[in-house]
Structure 1
C-alpha cells in the first residue's frame, strides 16, 4: 500500500485487493447494494484480484471511497475504470476527484493510454469534467441508466459529434476555477444553448466572487435575433459574463473556435462552424496559449452593449 494523495481530512491509498478487500467491499456494498439496490452477485466479480485499486480513508483510517482500474484485456482494448463509490456523507468533498486522478496516474504509469468506463448517468458530468466523452447510446445496467465514456491520456481527445461536444464543453466549464474564455462565430446553436452547457455555465457564474466569463463573437447580431439563452443568463449576471464582437477584418477571417479555462482545459475546433475538434483537461500549456491568443483580440474588439437592452 502507498499513499498517493493527502487532502486535508482524507487521503488516497493505492492498495492490493487481497490487502484491503474488507474495506473495498464494505464501501461498495454500502453504496451499490444497500443504497442503489444493485444485487450483491452483480457487484462482486472475478476481476478484483487482477485490478489496481484505490481506497480513500478519513483521518481515522476508515474507508470512505473506492475505485479500481481493470487492465486491458489485449493490446487494442482500453483499460477500464469502475466500482467508483464514495460514502454519502463524503460526497462533494473532492474524494471522487482525488480517486479518479489517482487511477489515471496509475494508468499513465503502466502505459495504458486508452481509458474507458461506464458512468451512471447521474455521474456523467463528473467524468466529463475529467476529460471523458460519451460513446454510443445510453444503456441500463443493474437497473441503473449508464453511459459509456472514453478518454485518451497520451494525446488530445478527439471530439467528433454533438454529444461529445456538449459533454466536453460542460465539463470544461465546470472545471474552470475563476476564468473562462470562449471564441465563437455566432454563439454555436446546438452547443452553447444545450441545457447541460447552460446549467454548467449558471453553476460557474454563481459560484462566488471573482468569476469572469469572456465570450468573443464574430457575429453578434445572429444570436441577438435568435434570443440565444446564454444572452438571457448574461443579462442576469452582467458583472460575470461579458460579450464582445471582433472588429478587425483580420479577426473576422479567423476560421476556428475554442474554449479555454484557467485550470488547463480547452476544446479547440479548427473550423468554427463545425463541432469536430480536440479537447484536453490537463494541458496547461495549450490552454494558456489559447488564452494568450484570445487576450489581444478581446482588447481590440467592441463591447456588445446592445445585449444589455434585449428585454429577454
Structure 2
C-alpha cells in the first residue's frame, strides 16, 4: 500500500469480477446512466484488468486494456477522485502494455476527461463522437517514444499537455510567438492558470515585431503577471540561425519542431533526459538574449 492510502494491481478477471462489476456499475450505470447491457461486453474476459483498493482492501477504482490495445472502463468512486487514483490506474495499464511489448495505445475519452489524458501524453485523433449517449474523443499515445504532431490541433493538444504536466518552469522558443497556436483561448487559460499557481513561463523570440503589431494576447497576460511571464529577444547570429522551435517543462515534457514556422513535430511528456538537454540549450540562449522591452512599453 502506498503513502497515498491506496494501491493498484493487475488482477485476474474471474477472481476480481465482483469488485470490478461493483465499481463499474456504480460509476457507469448508476452515476452516468449507461445501460447495463452496454457496460458489460464479451471483451471483458480477454482484457488485462487493474484494480485500485483502499487501505482496508476495498475496491475504489478500475480500468482495462483490451486486445485491440485500447484502454477503457476507467472508473474511480466519487469519494476517491482528485487523489491520484486515476493516474495510478492509467500508469498501471500503460505498464501492462509494456509487458505485451505494444508500441502504442488508444482510448475513447469522455470529453470532460480529455485534459486528464493530455497530462499523461495522449493526443486527440479525429472528430468527437457519441458512445453510450456520452460525447467522446479518440486519443492515442506511443508507449515509450515521441508522439508525432501533424497539424495545428494536435500541436495545441501537445502544448496543453505540456503546460498541465509542468511543475514550476515552462520554456518556449518561438520565432514570432506562433500565431494560431500560442494565442488560442484554451492555451491562454492554461498559461494563466500555470502562472497564477506559481509557475514561471520564459519565452524566447527571434522577432518581437509581428506579435507586437498584432497585439498578441500573451503580451497582455505578461503585463498582468510580470513576475511569472518573461520575454527575451534573440540577437546573436549563432542563435538566430536556429530554424526550429520548441517548448519544454521541468518534468520531462517537450514538444519540438524542426521548422519554427510549421506545427509538425514530436512531443513526449516522460523523457527527462531529452528535456534536460532542451532546457540547458534554452538557458544558454536565454542568458545571451536581451530583455524584450518592446512588450513592456505596450498599454494594457
The question of a shared fold, defined as TM-score above 0.5 by the shorter chain, is answered with yes
Residue aligning to 1:286: 274
1:60 deviates by 1.6
1:36 deviates by 1.3
- Secondary structure of 1:138's aligned partner: strand
Residue aligning to 1:37: 33
CA distance in 2, matches of 1:184, 1:103: 35
1:103 corresponds to 2:93? yes
1:101 deviates by 0.9
1:51 corresponds to 2:47? yes
User: Deviations along 1:223-275, whole A, 9 cap, x unmatched?
Assistant: 12111111222222111111111011221221000011111111000000000
- Secondary structure of 2:138's aligned partner: strand
Instruction: Note the 1:102-251 alignment, pairs <5 A.
Output: 102-208=92-198, 211-251=199-239
CA distance in 2, matches of 1:267, 1:136: 20
- Secondary structure of 1:255's aligned partner: coil
CA distance in 1, matches of 2:76, 2:299: 44
- Give TM-score, length-normalised by structure 1: 0.93
1:7 deviates by 4.3
CA RMSD, aligned part only? Answer: 1.3
1:186 deviates by 1.0
Q: How many residues align?
A: 300
- Secondary structure of 1:136's aligned partner: strand
Residue aligning to 1:272: 260
Residue aligning to 2:2: 6
1:296 deviates by 0.7
Q: Contact 1:184 / 1:215 at 8 angstroms: preserved in 2?
A: yes
User: Deviations along 1:148-169, whole A, 9 cap, x unmatched?
Assistant: 1111113211110111111111
> Structure 2: any 5+ residue segments left out of the alignment?
none
Q: Does 6-15 or 177-186 show the bigger shift? A: 6-15
> Structure 1: any 5+ residue segments left out of the alignment?
73-78
- Give TM-score, length-normalised by structure 2: 0.96
Residue aligning to 2:58: 62
CA distance in 1, matches of 2:200, 2:27: 37
CA distance in 1, matches of 2:38, 2:80: 24
User: Deviations along 1:115-164, whole A, 9 cap, x unmatched?
Assistant: 01111111111111111111111111111111111111132111101111
1:23 corresponds to 2:19? yes
